[in-house]
Amino acid sequence: MTVEDIQNGQVFLIDKPLDWTSFDVVNKIRWNLRKTYQLKKIKVGHAGTLDPKATGLLIVCCGKMTKQIDQIQSQHKTYTGTIKLDATTPTYDLESEEDCQFSTAHLTEEKIHETTKQFIGKIDQVPPLHSAIKKDGKRLYEIARAGETIEIEPRKIEILSFKITRIELPFVDFEVVCSKGTYIRSLAFDFGRSLQVGGYLTALCRTKIGDYALKDADNSVLNLIADTEN
């Protein structure tokens, strides 16, 4: 790629590593582009956050393609992952320790599959307290870490598909197709609550955003990002 290519805009499909934030990836790409192409400044942004404990497709745009970010991130997204159904955590994922445990003795495969239907369509979803959403000028995770409680307004989201692909209690694997703004962590928690057990994510991978697919992620770009550590 030339300097002109970068400034005219590029879209990078990244397979985000576990424990990296989306901001980490953006920073690495920005640093690498500036160093490689001797640029004082270059716009770089991502089209939809992935939590640190999630992996999979992160779309990063640079140059003039940053103008397309809103359009890209408004498209439907597909996720696969695993929910543990016998406990909860404050963050609804592996970023915190289990705080409550439940028995799954009453669960049947039929009940698990049947309960997914409650979440199909346009629904109200309460985002996790441990999230980057702002409330009264503060990030929700800052409020949570301070030990404060706050009422969080539910948001309208849409679940187009929610399928259970494997059951090996207390773990279930799933695939979800959903709208922008959906928190899969909240879906895992709400799903567990509907089954009268706990629920939190132990794995999450984003496989698609619109027509962009994880299988097309450019691993060479990811290696270049890693090389900037040296």
CA distance 88 to 102: 9
CA distance 30 to 229: 13
CA distance 158 to 216: 26
DSSP assigned state of 92: S
DSSP assigned state of 107: -
Q: Based on the number of CB atoms within 10 Å of its own CB, is 105 exposed (0-12), middle (13-18) or buried (19 or more)?
A: exposed
CB 82 within 8 A of CB 172: yes
* Spatial CA neighbour of 132 closest among 80, 185, 76: 185
Is 51 catalytic? The answer is yes
Task: Point out the catalytic residue in the list 15, 51, 86, 190.
Answer: 51
Which tokens belong to 182?
């959906």
One-character DSSP codes across 46-70: ESS---TT-EEEEEEEEGGGGGGHH
Q: Based on the number of CB atoms within 10 Å of its own CB, is 25 exposed (0-12), middle (13-18) or buried (19 or more)?
A: buried
The catalytic residues are 51
